[in-house]
Structure 1
Amino acid sequence: MTVRPHPFFSGALFARKSCFVYLPEGYEDTDQCYPVIYLLHGMYGSESHWLLKGNAEQTLDRMISTSQLRKSIVVMPNDGEYGLGTFYMDWYDGTGNFEQYFIYDLIPDIDKHYRTIKAAHSRAVCGLSMGGFGAFSLSLRNPGLFGAAASLSGALTSTAYVAERFSRSDVARMIGPLQGPYAQEYDLQVCASKRVMDEQRPALYFDCGTEDFLYNTNADYHEHLNQIGYAHRYQQFPGEHNWKYWTEHLPDALSFIEDYFASQDK
């Protein structure tokens, strides 16, 4: 298996960017096309953290070699590298088009340079913490882009909660007035309610540690999805908001993604 850096240019951010790309064994020896999984980091993180702190390469090697996960291309990007974390959003004040960077620059460049299956049924996104928010936001707001989304300890809540919990001085720059229409566009409960009847709605998986400060948020999101009738898979395990938990439970998210891929083979 190979992990390589992949540089590209982002027109949305007018900046040079880079990500890491995991290529499965045998990639260079065949003309086969592969599904793609995007792994998103959390606040204060970078594109290297899944590799350096989360043992993602070892987990992928093990799961693919034991047929728990089909051979896949796995992309580990950064969030746009602004401030403490961008939440993978286009900011209200125009600071940066971090959602457009992901959708219009990163994904097309990966599809251009690697043998990907260029369809939602073979594209998934998974993230931790802020990246969990990003995974659900990107998939719910852009139907037909991702077939499945997974979150580990994600901030799966309203944008108002993000503002209150993190007390960040730049939140108003990100989402504008808390009760305004722009903030509502990124509220994950609102997003799920809008998408619940859509045939292209993404399959959703999320889990959280019972000692995590975001546990109640995840439990509330699970309840919201139940109330609106959005089919999903939710699990909770002992654990806190740390790399020990995310390393241990990345396989759970990847197993869900494999189940989704398998369902599309029929």
Structure 2
Amino acid sequence: MKRVIILLITGLFYFSLHAQQDIFQPKGIESPVVNADHTVTFRIKAPGADKVLVTGNLNSEKAFANISYEMQKGDNGVWSFTTQVLPSELYRYHFEVDSVRTIDPGNAHVIRDVANISNIFIIEDGTADLYKVQQVPHGTVSFRWYESKGNDKNRRLTVYTPAGYENNKDKYPVLYLLHGVGGDEEAWLGTGRSAQIFDNLISQGKMVPAIVVMTNGNVVQEAAPGKGSNGLERPNFMLPHTMDGKFEETFQDVMDFVESNYRTINKKEGRAIAGLSMGGYHTAYISMNYPNKFDYIGLFSAAIGVRPGPTPPSYIYKDVDQKLTQQKENGFKLYWIGIGSDDVLIYKGMQNFRKNLDEKGFKYEYLETEGGHTWNNWRNYLSVFSQKLFK
């Protein structure tokens, strides 16, 4: 009997050790290392490789573009590269080992953008302090399902409620925040760092506490890939009905759910809508087709005038001049436009849109920054726009 017990204990110990084998793996190479002077060193062990690159927005002079840098092979097959001094920002990167894309095995912090997985790191003491978790009161992020009658399905969205929402009976204004092509209801939470931005701005007294609703603009989806009944489907960049008017036509379903389930200020002055790229396109058309719903409108690198193919027949895109004139006459408190000067995809279309607004005497605020069609700009635009709301 004693021998049986010893064998049983030994077997359980072996099973436990085997089941937790990842915990007991030897410590890997440290990468990336943010040095005291704000240079960053990357390392990866690839003894059999002929060429290894690190790719990302890692140039302080061109911090909005992905650039590849050759890494140098050292002792024991460890490749390394050290950047020049980088400004405070959130950075994305990946490795390419003999032309095969891979994440950094030394960095557990990864993020998905469409179907690509990249590592991230933050350089503090500046702009990126707004993008990191600070010791401040934190809001709550919830994933909610709502009935979209217009799309004949239940759909998922993300809701941020500010710190203290659960402990009072106050009513709050609402910001509807829309993503770009290939994104979903998780995009602004991930690379966009929206929850951190809201927590930090609200705690600093720079943003009025608000409910923020982050939608899924792909109406053929129930939810982000892997979060709906279709299972672990592969993310796609451009889906059917993405920019054909269907999302705008059925946006009232989102608003009905939010205003029925949260304590909201159900007046024009209590609503804002903003979006990046495709989401900016959606924002422009939603705001002009729901002209008395929103007092605050934000277009971040809005993809106006660049939709592939002919304009869809949806009523959403008809009588634009008349709708803009009506929107102007109804009045609003803020129409805000931001775009990067190097945004070759969007720039011309936005300038044509601005010209149309100018001819109508349509008042708006305009911010042109360096860089292109990137999350660096969109995080910045969200930070600026959020501080102007509901005041």
In structure 2, C-alpha distance between the alignment counterparts of 1:147 and 1:9, rounded to whole Å: 26
Pairing 1:115–2:240 present: no
Within 1, Cα distance between the matches of 2:163 and 2:244?
A: 34
Structure 2 equivalent of residue 124 of structure 1: 272
| Residue deviations 1:34-83 (CA, integer Å, cap 9, x gap) | 00000001111101000011101111111111111111000001114335
The offset of 1:199, in angstroms, is 2.2
2:341 corresponds to 1:210: yes
Higher helix share: 1
C-alpha distance in 2 between matches for 1:193 and 1:15: 34
Residues 128 and 154, structure 1, Cα contact 8 Å, conserved in 2 = yes
Task: Flag the 1:118–1:154 CA change in 2: closer, same or farther, 3 A.
Answer: same
Which whole-Å CA distance do the structure 1 matches of 2:354 and 2:301 have between them?
13
Structure 1 residues 182, 35: CA separation in 2 closer, same or farther (over 3 Å shift)? closer
Tell me the equivalent position of 1:61: 199
Task: Call closer, same or farther: CA 1:28–1:129 in 2, change over 3 Å.
Answer: same
**2:249 maps to what in 1?**
100
Identical aligned residues as a percent: 28
Q: Aligned residue for 2:353?
A: 221
Aligned to 1:84: 239
The 1-side partners of 2:160 and 2:327 are apart by: 31
**C-alpha separation between the residues in 1 aligned to 2:333 and 2:286?**
10
Task: Give the number of the structure with larger relative contact order, counting CA–CA contacts within 8 Å between residues 6 or more apart.
Answer: 1
Residues 202-258 of structure 1, C-alpha deviation per residue, up to 9 Å, x if partnerless?
A: 7311110000021222223223222210111111000110112212221122123x2
The code of the aligned residue for 2:199 comes to: D
> Among 365, 370, 384, which residue is 1:233 paired with?
365
Question: Are 2:296 and 2:333, in contact at CA under 8 Å, matched by a contact in 1?
Answer: yes
Tell me the SS of whatever aligns to 1:109.
helix
Tell which structure's C-alpha radius of gyration is larger: 2
Letter in 2 for 1:248: N
Give RMSD over aligned pairs.
2.2
Q: Is the 8 A contact 1:209 1:236 kept in 2?
A: yes
1:94 is matched with none
Report 1:112-191 matches (<5 A). Answer: 112-157=260-305, 161-162=306-307, 166=308, 171-172=309-310, 175-176=312-313, 182=315, 184-185=317-318, 187=320, 191=323
Scaled by the length of structure 1, what TM-score is found? 0.81
Q: Counterpart of 1:26?
A: 164
AA in 2 matched with 1:222: R
Q: Structure 1 residues 107 and 88 mapped into 2: Cα distance closer, same or farther (>3 Å)? A: farther
Scaled by the length of structure 2, what TM-score is found? 0.56
Distance 2:156 2:333 in 1: 27
Where do 5+ consecutive residues of structure 2 fail to align? 1-138, 221-237
In the alignment, the residues of structure 1 paired with residue 242 and residue 302 of structure 2 have an alpha-carbon distance, to the nearest angstrom, of 11
Q: In the TM superposition, what is the alpha-carbon distance from 1:86 to its structure 2 partner?
A: 4.1
Amino acid at match of 1:113: N
